[in-house]
Chain A
Amino acid sequence: MKKAVQINVNGTTRETEVEPRLLLVHYLRDVLGLTGTHVGCETSLCGACTVTVDGQAVKSCTMFAVQADGSNITTIEGLAHDGELHPVQEGFWERHGLQCGYCTPGMIMAAAQLLERNHAPTREEIRHGLEGNLCRCTGYQHIVEAVEYASKAVNREP
Chain B
Amino acid sequence: MIPAQFDYAAPATLDEALSLLAERPDDAKILAGGHSLIPAMKLRLAQPALLIDIGRVKDLSYIREEGGQIRIGAMTTHYQLESSERLREICPLLPECAASIGDVQVRNKGTIGGSLAHADPAADWPAAIISLRAELVAVSSRGERVIAADDFFVDMLTTALRPDEVLREIRINAPGGRTGQAYMKVHHPASGFAVVGVAVSLTLGADGKCSAAGVGITGVATKAYRAAQVEGALVGSTPDEQTTASAASHAADGVDANGDIYASADYRRHLAVVYARRAIAEAVAKIK
Contact = CB atoms under 8 A, between A and B. Distances in A.
B51 interface: yes
Interface in A63-86: 63-64, 66-67, 69
Interface stretch (B37-45, B116-124, B196-204): B37-45
A42 B79 CA distance: 23
A152 to B, nearest CB: 21
Contacts of B175: none
B192 interface: yes
Given A57-B108, A59-B109, A61-B42, A20 B8 contact: yes
B23 interface: no
A56 B79 CA distance: 10
A151 interface: no
A47 B105 contact: yes
Interface residues of B, number: 31
Nearest to A63: B34
B8 A3 contact: yes
Contacts of A45: 190-192
Provide the main secondary structure of the chain A interface: mixed
B259 interface: no
Contact of A59 (B7, B41, B105): B105
Contact of B4 (A21, A50, A61): A21
Is the interface on chain A under 10, 10 to 19, 20 to 34, or 35 or more residues? 20 to 34
A133 B102 CA distance: 11
Contact of A66 (B4, B39, B53, B190): B53
Contacts of A35: none
30 contacts: A20-B51, A21-B2, A21-B3, A21-B4, A23-B2, A23-B3, A42-B39, A42-B43, A44-B35, A44-B39, A53-B109, A56-B79, A56-B108, A58-B105, A58-B108, A58-B109, A59-B105, A62-B35, A62-B106, A63-B34, A63-B38, A64-B8, A64-B31, A66-B53, A67-B31, A67-B53, A110-B105, A113-B104, A113-B108, A133-B103
Given A21-B2, A21-B5, A44-B35, A131 B103 contact: yes
A133 B5 CA distance: 29
A39 interface: yes
B103 A67 contact: no
B287 interface: no
Contacts of B3: 21, 23
Interface string B1-23: 11111111010000000000000
Interface string A36-53: 000100111101001001
Interface in B36-83: 38-39, 41-43, 51, 53, 55, 79
Nearest 3 pairs of A and B residues by beta carbon: A132-B103, A20-B8, A56-B108
Nearest to A59: B105
Contacts of B106: 44, 59, 62, 132
A129 B109 contact: no
B109 A62 contact: yes
A66 B10 contact: yes
Interface string B91-106: 0000000000011111
B183 to A, nearest CB: 16
A94 interface: no
Nearest to A133: B103
Contacts of B8: 3, 20, 64, 66
